[in-house]
Amino acid sequence: MIDTLIGLVSQYSPSGEERGAAEWLVLRMKSLGYDDAFVDKAGNAVGVLGMGSKQVVLLGHIDTVSGEIPVTLTPNPSSERRGELLYGRGSVDAKGSLASFVDAVANVGAKDGWQFVVIGAVEEERDSEGARFVTTQYKPDFAIIGEPNQWDRVALGYKGSAWANITIKKGQAHTASGDETAAEAAIETWLKIKAQVDSFNADKPKVFDKLLLTLRGMESDSTDFEQWARLKVGVRLPVDVPPEAWYEILNATLKGSETFRVLIEPIGFAIPAWGCEKNTSLVRAFLSGIRSQGGEPRFVYKTGTADLNIVAPVWKCPAVVYGPGDSALDHTPNEHIGLEDYRKSVEVLSAALTKLTSTPI
């Protein structure tokens, strides 16, 4: 059962360099009996099993952050957990999830009236180009997104995100004048934003419902006639604050000054948050699958952003996020996954897919 996992993790594939891993996974899915497997126009690895009209898409991502980690198997030092640990970049985020999708679908096999589509998407760690492409290629009845949340947990929501460069400009002045500099005004600007966010969060006990603000860069310079300072500001968004509302908050907070100008420039892709419906046959299938392996199911809502945020608003079908591994190890130099946890996740998925495809929609 671990050959898919080890083989996929052994294919180093940072964002932008996924082709070798995608081709390897296509060959692996063909060897496991998939009806079709190919690399699509976006570079995603796609495997199809079954010919039915009802469709389940299992969307993982095949890219990783950069920083290759030697792929090694070591004994698990914990006396409470059996099996070995697999070290390697992507073992947790998120090739463990993608490999478990591939193995579980192969275990379940073709189901009358159903089609399984497993996708290893590219560019998730950057701008989710792979997920953006597949939104127009499929219209599933159910979607399962692969991210690490441990084998006995199901994630039902991911926060959105938005980024902006905030530039403060003002006329040049003598250094002895005592006038506020653009750099000093930038600090005040940051404190205004932070105060507004703190006020918004004050009555919200759950992290998933809060604005999570971050300052990721500062720079300043001047010309003969003007001085400027720039802040790179990011925020993780709750479901009830779409990106456009966040930019309105910024504009309202920073509007107007007699001594300097403030320019707010959105950058990158702004992504709304997404919360999944809990009372669905898909969720119930996962709860049953986790219990079948002796687990006590738990729901989680994550502060990060995933391909769920890209596809769910388009597909508008029941969705969950599932996958083995400890997300605290994402992007770290000692990224690793327990093989016993991986095995359980494959069994959970197999049981969930079997139950789901045996129940009328």
Angle of helix 182-201 relative to helix 243-254, nearest 10 degrees, comes to 130
Residue 48, number of CB atoms within 10 A of its CB: 18
**Quick check: helix, strand or coil at residue 351?**
helix
Written as six digits, the tokens of 167 are 């530039």
Q: Which residues are catalytic?
A: 63, 124
d(CA 208, CA 175): 45
| Long-range contacts, 193-201 (Cβ 8 Å, 24+) | 193/166, 193/233, 193/250, 193/253, 193/254, 196/249, 196/253, 197/235, 200/249
**Quick check: helix, strand or coil at residue 312?**
helix
Which residues, 6 or more positions from 26, have their beta carbon under 8 angstroms from its beta carbon?
37, 38, 39, 45, 46, 47
